[in-house]
Amino acid sequence: MEKKEQLYEGKAKKVYATSDQEVYIVSYKDDATAFNGQKKGTILGKGAINNRMTNFLMQKLETAGVPTHFVQELNDRETAVKKVSIVPLEVIVRNLSAGSFAKRYGVEEGIVFAQPTIEFSYKNDDLGDPLINDSHALALGLATQAEIDRIKDLAFRVNDFLKAFMKEHNVDLVDFKLEFGRLSDGTIVLADEISPDTCRFWDSATHEKLDKDRFRRDLGGVEDAYQEMMRRILGQ
């Protein structure tokens, strides 16, 4: 498969066309942004870590019955994925209170929920990715009811798997963001990434943050946290 023209450059990844109409190549960057692009920086080694962790977890999820866009890891930073049209919803699942949830409802971080929560944000940088409900997503034609139902079901399945998997590695899965895409036949598959950029990971014993909050909140030790997650998950 041959890499062709760049189709898109996002905050953390570039996307290329290939000689295969149904396949794209994603290339992960070390660039980091937060607060809707207002804070910018570099996290050395992040691109390779996020690429390899995402691919590892997506292959595990496939075996757990979650269809994904993963095709083949090409090198440290690049992966072949199925061409999808992204459903413009950020799907957020939470097991503990943190971040915008804690702020919105005026509660501390670290409250353990009796059951996981799910919410959607409308993927729109100009609007700052506002929270959106099912009814408004339907009204805007962002997805059908059947797609929303399927996305919720898959997102909770991802949570069941990831939460248990992370616990085996002494990591509490606090919350995370998923994106889903449609294949050309309309099938919904998990797309984007699953990494310390898109998940909150806390050490189970010390509650130390092992994710992008170290960058967002200027806590230091950003690279070390990404490497530590890589070591725990992939043993390297």
Please tell me the distance from the alpha carbon of residue 58 to that of residue 71, in angstroms, as a whole number. 10
Please tell me the distance from the alpha carbon of residue 236 to that of residue 234, in angstroms, as a whole number. 6
Cβ count near 219 (within 10 Å): 12
Shorter beta-carbon distance to ligand UDP: residue 18 or 198: 198
Shorter beta-carbon distance to ligand UDP: residue 148 or 210: 210
Beta bridge partners of 178: 91
Q: How far is the CB of 198 from ligand UDP (least distance, A)?
A: 4
Shorter beta-carbon distance to ligand UDP: residue 32 or 143: 32
For the residues of 103-147, what is the DSSP string, one character each?
Answer: HHHT--TTPEEEEEEEEEEE--GGGT--EE-HHHHHHTTSS-HHH
Q: How far is the CB of 134 from ligand UDP (least distance, A)?
A: 18
For the residues of 25-84, what is the DSSP string, one character each?
Answer: EEEE-SEEEETTTTEEEE-TTHHHHHHHHHHHHHHHHHHTT--BSEEEE-SSSEEEEE--
**Applying CB under 6 A, which residues contact ligand UDP?**
90, 92, 98-101, 129, 175-177, 198-200, 212
Shorter beta-carbon distance to ligand UDP: residue 18 or 191: 191
Shorter beta-carbon distance to ligand UDP: residue 4 or 207: 207
Shorter beta-carbon distance to ligand UDP: residue 4 or 40: 40
Q: How far is the CB of 76 from ligand UDP (least distance, A)?
A: 22
Residue nearest ligand UDP, Cβ-based: 99
Query: Are 20 and 79 contacting, i.e. CB atoms less than 8 angstroms apart?
Result: no
Q: How far is the CB of 14 from ligand UDP (least distance, A)?
A: 18
Q: How far is the CB of 103 from ligand UDP (least distance, A)?
A: 7
| Amino acid in position 203 | D
Q: How far is the CB of 105 from ligand UDP (least distance, A)?
A: 11
Please tell me the distance from the alpha carbon of residue 124 to that of residue 119, in angstroms, as a whole number. 15
